[in-house]
């Protein structure tokens, strides 16, 4: 993949300015994993991702119990998406000012100081898709899944209504898939 991977301008109401502070998207699990390994980083496991995203909270969103608590904290499908002409089925009433992904630190961070863990772009995890009932590896919580190709994405996307950006929400794609919602948050062991 050459250049900076962004969606194509003009795609379905998604055209907007963006710069180097915007997150990459259109990255597959394979591309993300290979790139991070080359840099001495890794994809987070689902367990690591959720620990970081929750940041000590136990509510549906780290911002609280109600969807509207996201309004000044995370970039989800909102009134600005409707105004931009997107055809997304479900959007929130409030206007968060960003109908596509927002640059880093456009919204306040979670209690761990992490920005954009929900909404904005979805984040690949190391794990293959598997039931929460399956056992996990000691140490990093990697889920021990067999015979599954699809990999997990967490956090929702800028085109997600709040409910799909809840901390517990997850979905999956095969590792070769990429689109405007597939992004990455690098992880690194604490030394
Ligand atoms: Ca938004």
Distance from residue 70's CA to the centre of ligand 1 (Å): 10
Note the Cα 65 to chain centre separation in Å: 20
pLDDT in tens, 89-108: 899 999 999 999 999 999 99
Contact 118, 53 (CB under 8 A): yes
Distance from residue 106's CA to the centre of ligand 1 (Å): 11
At residue 11, does pLDDT exceed 70?
Answer: no
pLDDT in tens, 139-154: 999 999 999 999 999 9
Distance from residue 97's CA to the centre of ligand 1 (Å): 6
Distance from residue 159's CA to the centre of ligand 1 (Å): 7
Does the CA dihedral 112-45-170-103 come out positive or negative? Answer: positive
Q: Which residues contact 116 (CB under 8 A, 6 or more apart)?
A: 23, 74, 75, 102, 104, 107
Distance from residue 10's CA to the centre of ligand 1 (Å): 17
Distance from residue 95's CA to the centre of ligand 1 (Å): 7
Model's pTM, two decimal places? 0.92
The whole-angstrom separation of Cα 56 and Cα 53 is 9
């Amino acid at each position: 993949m050459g250049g900076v991977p962004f969606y194509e301008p003009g795609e379905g109401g998604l055209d907007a300015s963006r710069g180097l502070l915007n997150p990459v998207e259109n990255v597959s699990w394979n591309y993300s994993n290979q790139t991070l390994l080359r840099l001495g980083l890794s994809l987070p496991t689902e367990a690591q991702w959720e620990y970081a995203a929750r940041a000590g909270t136990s509510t549906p969103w780290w911002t609280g119990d109600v969807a509207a608590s996201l309004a000044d904290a995370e970039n989800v499908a909102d009134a600005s998406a409707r105004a931009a002409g997107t055809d997304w089925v479900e959007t929130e009433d409030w206007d968060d000012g960003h109908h596509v992904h927002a640059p880093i630190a456009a919204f306040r961070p979670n209690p761990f100081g992490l920005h954009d863990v929900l909404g904005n772009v979805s984040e690949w995890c190391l794990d293959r898709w598997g039931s929460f009932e399956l056992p996990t590896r000691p140490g990093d919580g990697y889920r021990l899944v067999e015979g599954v190709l699809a990999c997990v994405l967490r956090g929702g996307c800028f085109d997600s209504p709040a409910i799909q950006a809840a901390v517990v929400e997850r979905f999956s794609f095969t590792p070769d898939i990429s689109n405007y919602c597939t992004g990455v948050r690098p992880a690194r062991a604490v030394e």
